[in-house]
Chains A and B, each alone.
Chain A
Amino acid sequence: MNTSALSQSRSQSRSRIRIGTATGTGTGTGLLLLTLLALPASAHDKRLLRSLALEPAGLTLHVLASVRVPSGPTKSAMLAMADANHDGQLGPSERKGLEDALIARALGGMILSVGTATRTLDGAESKLSIGDADSPIDLLIHGTVALPKSEASVRLTTKGSGESVDVEVLAGNRPVVQSSRGAPKKGTLKTVLGTTDAVVLRFSAYSATE
């Protein structure tokens, strides 16, 4: 499912999207995001869980944001609010409303900068899974931002966002060589950003022959 505003960005700036050829799957099994998605459905945690994964691929930085609403009262209330006509079902526009709210929740307060420039997500798309009563609500957003060929400094800032964010950086074909949160491990990094927080990452320069 597309989200219009994000998709609009994609359509307006598609020419800027360049996806690298390397697969970069070396750390894929350790994805924090996958771990999140694999959480037992019966975990009735009341908190919303946010995560953000970054993966450089050539001149493109892939960004995957997610938000999870645990099953239980939190999910029930969220669905009740989305059910505008109170018929117990989520029609297309109601589902869209829920998705929009969760997109705002997933990305709320986050600023991604490459060098000194604040960047927006190109070609962003979102997917929403509501599942059955015992399942959580999951929302995923994927988009990209362009990286320079030279060594790239990426800053991820949270400012007044609702929840903390679990951040995982995959090495892709441009490992993290330095971060403001300690030394990267094999070009990867895991950290947590508070509601007003920041992390600075330095990715290696990109060589097309790699």
Chain B
Amino acid sequence: MFRKIALSAVCLAGLTTCSSGAPPSIAKQIGARSELIGGPGALGEVGDYLLANDQIRLVIQGEGYSRGFGVYGGSLIDADLQRAGQSGNDLGGKGYDAFSEMFPAFFLKAMAPSKGGITTKTYPDGSASIIVTGTGAEFLFMLTRINDVVVPSTGLVFTNEYRLYPGKRYVEITTSVTNLGADAIKFPGDGVDALTKGVPFFLPVGDVLLFGAANKVFSPLAGFDLRFTLQDLYKTPPPLPGLPGLVTPFLATTNEHVSYGFASGVTDENTSFVKKAGYPNARPDDILVPFLFSGFTGAFYAAAPDVLESRAQFSFKKYFIVGTGDVGSIRDVVHELRGYKTGSLAAWVRSGLTQQPVEVSVVTYDASGNIYSQHHPIDGRFVGTYEPGKYSYRIVADGRFTTSPVPFEITEGKTTAITVDVDEPGSVNLRIRDVNGRPMPGKCSLVSHYVPAASGLDPMSFLYDLRVGEHRRPVDLITDKLDDEKTREYLEQVLYVGTQPKTELVRPGHYRAVCSRGVEYDLTEQDIDVTAGRLTELDVVLKQSVVTPGWISGDYHLHARHSVDSYMPYTDRITTVAAEGVDLAVATDHNYVTDYTPTIAAEELTPFIQGMVGLELTTLEIGHFNGFPLKYNPGPITKGAFAWSGRAPEALFSDLRALGSLGKDKTIVQVNHPRDAILGYLNGYNYNPDTGLPEDSTNLFLAPEGPEFGTNNFSTAFDAMEIFNGKRFDLIRSYRVPDVLPPPPLPMTIPPAGSILRDSNGKIAFPGGLDDWFVLLNQDHRITATANSDSHDTDDEAGYPRTYTPVTDDRPGSIPEIDVVAAMRSQKAMLTNGPLVFFSVGDKGMGEVADGKSGSVHVKIQVRAAGWVDVSRVTILVNGTPVREFDGDAASLANLEADIPITRDSFVLVEARGGKSMWPVVTPLEVPSVQIGDAVGGIAGAFGINLNPFGNLQPNRVGVVKPYAFTNPVYVDFDGDGAFKGPGVSAQGLRAAMEAPRSSATRQKLSEMPTLLKVFAAFNCH
């Protein structure tokens, strides 16, 4: 529902009139929770600062570290419209803040407020300000070395003044940099010559915005597709002093209740970065968006002066705008700020059948065919300002096909009125029941196929249009065949249902509904026809084909709306997890403690799913760590999350345990996705699986520096490690050179196919978490491997993979948390996205020690799988090395036994895999997330710095999902001391030592050498 106050209609006729006679703005330190804004993204707390007028409210965080996803305080963290009847109470505000965070960026450097550096001020014109004073500080510590050279900040003082005028829906923000040192400072520093090779470079400055996943980010030209627009722009970077990125007049977002906008206030060509850098057709107030990752949006628009003399200052201005939920309400303010001559578009959008208002998105294009704006009608109406000219509009709405463009024209000072009659949508009413007729949660994937003529084309070119805000439609990633529509399948929509029937809008068409409930149930398929204006009934019975008495499946890594990168409301979150047959859902929002239990009860899903309170402690550069089960503290804004910046892992683990609901000793700390680029703990400390030790970074450009970094701070005081994360098969095993090389660019030196790729230091280029875990086990670290979906939305299905653990009561609602903790601490956990694998060595199970003194152990394996889950190979591994493989199918591999020789204390585990895609229940990983390396790499590339020395020779993140499962180990005591003692040196380490380069056995005589060899031989290192 787009329920919003009719503010826009009041103001749009003439924005300036709204401000006349408006009451003065206020700026104050928040003294009571009732003064907070509140809302799904709200992070404001007593002690922060409130800036408000009669139109909007903003919260600037106080000093210290960021409560959100950034690093420092002093940032804009909450924003909303003023709303009637929205007064807060002791629990907080009742607004609709959905904004995450915004802070100034001096190239790649942020600002840390000084102690006592936040003040308020009022002006005679009725405006009020919050002024934050501080110093330059690292935002990403891995960029310290680059920043030290490019952004000399010694002696510089930064201020950020947020000034709110009466009656305005924007805050004017002025960032000033003052040189308090005795000497002039050059921007960029001298050292940049090393990077720019003498080409003049202007230091770009601006802001970093975290809009939050709940907000769809929009820019003219790119529409709602900033991500792929940027990706395309990276392919043709401009020469220095330009940087790769999107040049746009402003940024905006859409959301249900509130929208946000950002526009530059730089009007002087001499201080405009895009003008000085020579971007073609750029206006001085255009913004360069050089990166967009994990919710972080970079916005550069001003250029620092070449030299800042002692005691001199430079400033740049920008505007943060609050709108009514659509882009149009942001654009109206941009027009006002820039003094554009405009006319208005007034629209009445209604059902062509009932004449009643309908919920749609109206996307407009300019005469050049570029996306111009977007509107959400309120009660069927909207008014928006336009520059005079010819335009067209399209209607984008759930359950309907996006309409063809319809032209309209805007005349200066006049209003163009249009009436839009919208077709009726298709709809499906879904109910899922068990074989006894009882309702239960599940999902139906609506599969269709595209025409042969689209074979081989990029789905974005014909299947959906992200620019207008359509959702992505996953494809099967099978090579298309003209004569086989089964190879051209796509997913129109996935319908999730709880215990109550649910109706959802679906585009008209013929679909194959593939209905499922996780890995223990067989599929039910049914063809349906969806017709416009009609309700299609879909009533499905699902049968459980695999039972696991005494075991429960858990997803120990789930996100919902309190994570900056997830939009999911709790109800959707819980329904989607329950629909996948997961028994235990552990809430792990980023730096926010969440409890699903009230939602589970409200949705009447208690018999199907149980919640566990948890948290994903999210640092920027030393990893992500889950803690569970935790206490839920309703008092603090983040419900108990704590500051992490500048703190070493051991302290973080300790604080996580202190939040435990069962006590410190019964709290699980899980290291998540340990090898996921900058987000991975083992990457953050350069853990070397060859040596089993963390190492100092030798990267010349990217080496994090700070109190929490360095090998001494690495800690193994955690309980579990998430080896199997979602669809990230690339993170499981160390990358080996493939038989068929990918297309260029490739490194000059490529080892033979099948060998582990190593970097120029001889270190494994892309280590896998499973290999790391083997090393840790060899080092006697009894760390439990886990598998979790890390699901943020419905594209990454919850419960794929999941972790099975034994419990004394396996009924959701009654699962003892203490049993789960005990299993997690004793390595009684099986990881799977489909096949279920149970095994024993002798009479011992996972985490236990079996007797192997005889030099042989007997292994018994049971493999179970629902009919849609392929199983074709089962492997027994000893000390991480495969020792026995069984090939077959689910029936022939169901019960296996083998005697395995043992030659030392060992650990034994079992792996099962299938060769067929899990489509459409589990969609392929088709669009990998943008990583910081991609973002920073784009900028670094402009300086000739190649952060990716391997080119395309790296793990492929895109691919179909196939069944895969593995167990935690059973230990074997060979030497008879009753325990397992790891060798302490990894097999990989030994292998690496054997592979180490040897010195040349013979030297040629100098006289026989070619000239180049002579030159090289004669060259002296010094």
**A interface, CB within 8 angstroms of B:** 1-13, 19-25, 27-28, 31, 33-34, 37, 46-48, 53-55, 57, 62-64, 69, 73-78, 80-82, 84, 93-94, 96-98, 100-101, 103-105, 107-112, 118, 120-121, 124-125, 127-131, 138, 140, 142, 159-163, 170, 172
Contact = CB atoms under 8 A, between A and B. Distances in A.
B760 A3 contact: yes
Given A5-B762, A130-B1022, A76 B1010 contact: no
Given A33-B1015, A63-B1012, A129-B1021, A163 B997 contact: no
B1014 to A, nearest CB: 8
A2 B1013 CA distance: 15
Nearest to B1004: A19
A78 B194 contact: yes
Interface in B983-1017: 995, 997-998, 1004, 1007-1016
Interface string B499-513: 000000000000000
Interface string B672-697: 00000000000000000000000011
B761 A62 contact: no
B74 to A, nearest CB: 27
B997 A4 contact: yes
B193 interface: yes
B744 A111 contact: yes
Contacts of B995: 8, 11
Contacts of B703: 84, 97
A23 B997 contact: no
A157 B943 CA distance: 20
Contact of B197 (A4, A19, A46, A81): A46
A25 B944 CA distance: 35
Contacts of B761: 4-5, 96, 100
Given A7-B997, A34-B1015, A170-B1011, A74 B760 contact: no
Contacts of B148: 80-81
A25 B760 contact: no
DSSP class of A's interface residues: helix, strand, loop or mixed?
Answer: mixed
Residue with the highest number of chain A CB atoms closer than 10 Å, among B193, B195, B759? B193
Contact of A8 (B701, B748, B762, B1020): B762
Interface in B926-984: 941, 943-946, 949
Given A8-B762, A100-B700, A162-B944, A25 B1011 contact: yes
A20 B1010 contact: yes
Given A5-B760, A84-B703, A96-B698, A125 B1016 contact: yes
A57 B1021 CA distance: 26
A4 B1011 CA distance: 24
Nearest to B763: A4
A24 B1013 CA distance: 11
Contacts of A10: 997
A166 to B, nearest CB: 14
Smallest CB-CB A-B distances: 4 pairs: A162-B944, A77-B191, A4-B762, A101-B700
Interface in B736-764: 744-752, 755, 758-762
Contacts of A5: 747, 749, 758-762
Most buried by A among B149, B748, B750: B748
Most buried by A among B189, B998, B1009, B1019: B1019
A99 to B, nearest CB: 8
Interface of B: 145-146, 148-149, 189-195, 197-198, 696-701, 703, 705, 744-752, 755, 758-762, 941, 943-946, 949, 995, 997-998, 1004, 1007-1016, 1019-1022
A9 B747 CA distance: 12
15 contacts: A24-B1011, A25-B1011, A34-B1015, A77-B194, A81-B148, A81-B700, A84-B703, A97-B698, A108-B946, A109-B946, A120-B747, A121-B748, A127-B1016, A162-B197, A162-B943
A125 B1007 CA distance: 20
Contacts of A110: 748
Contact of B1010 (A48, A55, A100, A127): A55
A73 B748 contact: no
A1 B760 CA distance: 12
In the complex, which of the residues B189, B703, B1016, B1020 has the most CB atoms of chain A within 10 Å of its own CB atom? Answer: B1016
B1016 A77 contact: no
Given A5-B749, A120-B748, A163 B197 contact: yes
Nearest to A64: B1012
Contact of A46 (B198, B745, B949, B998): B198
Contacts of B747: 5, 120
Given A19-B1013, A31-B1015, 9 more contacts: A2-B997, A25-B1011, A73-B194, A81-B149, A84-B696, A97-B698, A101-B700, A103-B760, A107-B748
B149 A24 contact: no
A203 B1010 CA distance: 16
B954 to A, nearest CB: 14
A62 B1010 contact: yes
Contact of A28 (B149, B748, B998, B1011): B1011
Contacts of B1011: 23-25, 27-28, 31, 55, 170, 172
B1021 A1 contact: yes
B1012 A97 contact: no
A104 B189 CA distance: 23
Contacts of B744: 111, 118, 159
Nearest to B745: A159
A120 to B, nearest CB: 4
A4 B758 contact: yes
Contacts of A76: 190-191
A170 B749 contact: no
Nearest to A58: B1010
Given A31-B1011, A76-B190, A81-B700, A140 B760 contact: no
A112 B194 contact: no
Given A19-B1010, A74-B194, A129-B1021, A64 B944 contact: no
A77 to B, nearest CB: 3
Nearest to B1013: A62
Given A73-B190, A81-B149, A105 B1012 contact: no
A54 B943 CA distance: 28
Contacts of B1022: 129-131
A163 B746 contact: no
A127 B705 CA distance: 28
A74 B189 CA distance: 11
Contact of B751 (A12, A20, A27, A28): A12
B82 to A, nearest CB: 49
Contact of B1012 (A53, A81, A124): A53
A31 B751 CA distance: 31
B1010 A57 contact: yes
Given A4-B761, A120-B750, A84 B194 contact: no
A7 B486 CA distance: 49
Contacts of B943: 162
A23 to B, nearest CB: 7
A111 B703 CA distance: 28
B191 A127 contact: no
B699, B761, B995: residue with the most chain A Cβ atoms closer than 10 Å: B761
A140 B751 contact: no
Contacts of A48: 194, 197
Given A73-B190, A101-B701, A142 B198 contact: no
B1012 A142 contact: yes
Contacts of B946: 104, 108-109, 162
Which of B194, B1008, B1013: most chain A Cβ within 10 A? B194
A72 B749 CA distance: 32
Contacts of A24: 1010-1011
B149 A77 contact: yes
A118 B746 contact: yes
B727 to A, nearest CB: 30
A125 B195 CA distance: 25
A173 to B, nearest CB: 9
A159 B1009 CA distance: 31
